[in-house]
Amino acid sequence: PDLINQIAAGEVIERPSSVVKELVENSLDAGATRIEVDIEQGGARLIRVRDDGGGIGPDDLPLAVASHATSKIGSFDDLEHVASMGFRGEALASVASVARFALTSRLRDADSAFRLEVDGGRMQPVRPAQHPAGTSVEVRDLFFNVPARRKFLRAERTELAHIDDLLKSLSLARRSVEFRLSHNGKPLRLFRACPDQPSALARVAEVLGEGFPAQSLHIDHAAAGMQLSGWVGLPTASRAQADGQYFYVNGRLVRDRVVAHAVRQAYADVLFHGRHPAFVLYLELDPAGVDVNVHPAKHEVRFREQRLVHDFLFRSLHEALAQTRA
Ligand code: ADP
Ligand code: MG
């Protein structure tokens, strides 16, 4: 099962940022309001994610890193199936099989904390530890026991850039949560919590750069059971515009051709040609109308009614942009 865990890990854990993604998503699931990500050497040496979420009790620590689905994998077909469905309940087990791993946690109302270490898949006994309410996951020496994978890690700053991008996109998705990122002991990012709509623009500005808000247009449009909100950048004569294109479907970052086309068309039609606008947009629609589980590690979606979504996006943006020209 350990080899299978390692192979499985290879499907989900491409690089340090994939680990960060799984850990931060767990923290969000645990109801964290503050999440701290500490990285050393681009994540090759250390990835640590701390949160102030609900925590894990001592009896549940081994369960959290135990493999469930992978223990049932008997063939390569099964493996492919699991990979394409996403590793529900498998992320920690996968990570723990390819790194020196530690999980330390204290339940919100408990007065003591506990720690579980897993060394390349070998689980150690649970021990008492010091930790505030919440959870820390430490992942050291990623892929130390999978040399072929370790070799594929890129330069420190490349891996860090992937992690930074990931945190930016997660922080725009969850604006009421505070995110911190540090690298080799140096604080790199602090995205403060922006619980309400007006202050949300502050986070957008932090992420996309200060140039963004002054030249942006607020979008808020609903029709045909869909809602589009967020901000789109406007062209500016003076300086290079902030860049960054973030599109969320029901809270998940998505890169999609239907979306990209609708946005491009709306801009091209109204304002200017050949430019790539910056935007942060949130589309909400009936979950039954969209399949987000195409591949968990990619940002793909499949809309049931592509045409409808495309036209809704195009119209919403077109209308808003046209007003700025009037
Ligand atoms: P999944 O998130 O799909 O359930 P994971 O392997 O990512 O699978 O996590 C396994 C379990 O460990 C979670 O279901 C959760 O109960 C627990 N867990 C992981 N990370 C945290 C965290 N930061 N805070 C609280 N519980 C956690
Ligand atoms: Mg998870």
CA 176 / ligand 1 centre spacing (Å): 21
pLDDT category at 85 given cuts 50, 70, 90 is very low
Least confident of 74-83, 116-125, 185-194: 74-83
**Residue ranges lining ligand 1, Cβ < 6 Å:** 22, 26-27, 29-30, 51, 53-56, 64, 88-93, 135
Pick from 144, 187, 194: which is nearest to 16 by CA? Answer: 144
Is a pLDDT exceeding 50 seen at residue 234? yes
All structural domains of the chain with their residue ranges = 2-191, 210-325
Record: fold of 210-325:
Ribosomal Protein S5; domain 2 (3.30.230)
Nearest CA to ligand 1 atom 8: 89
Query: 40 CA distance to ligand 2 centroid (A)?
Result: 22
- Which residue's CA is minimally distant from atom 1 of ligand 1? 89
d(CA 29, CA 292): 18
Q: What distance in angstroms lies between residue 169's CA and the mean position of ligand 2's atoms? A: 17
pLDDT at 80 over 70: no
Whose alpha carbon is nearest atom 13 of ligand 1?
Answer: 64
What is the model's pLDDT at position 71?
Answer: 47
* Two tokens, residue 58: 């001592």
Residues 131/104, Cβ–Cβ less than 8 Å: yes
pLDDT at 33 over 60: yes
User: 117 CA distance to ligand 2 centroid (A)?
Assistant: 18
The CATH class given to the 2-191 domain equals alpha beta
Find the 193 Cα to ligand 2 centroid distance in Å.
22
Nearest ligand atom owner, CA of 88: 1
Given ligand 1 and candidates 28, 29, 85, which is best to mutate, with the most ligand atoms within 8 Å of its CB?
Answer: 29
Q: Read off the pLDDT of residues 87-108 as tens digits, 9 standing for 90 and up.
A: 456 889 989 999 999 999 999 9
The string of pLDDT tens digits covering residues 128-155 is: 999 999 999 999 999 999 888 888 888 9
131, 60, 123, 115: which is closest to 96 by C-alpha?
Answer: 123
Q: What integer best gives the mean pLDDT of the chain?
A: 86
d(CA 126, CA 287): 40
Question: Ligand 1: which of 92, 109, 115, 126 to mutate, judged by most atoms within 8 Å of the beta carbon?
Answer: 92
Q: Is the pLDDT of residue 5 over 80?
A: no
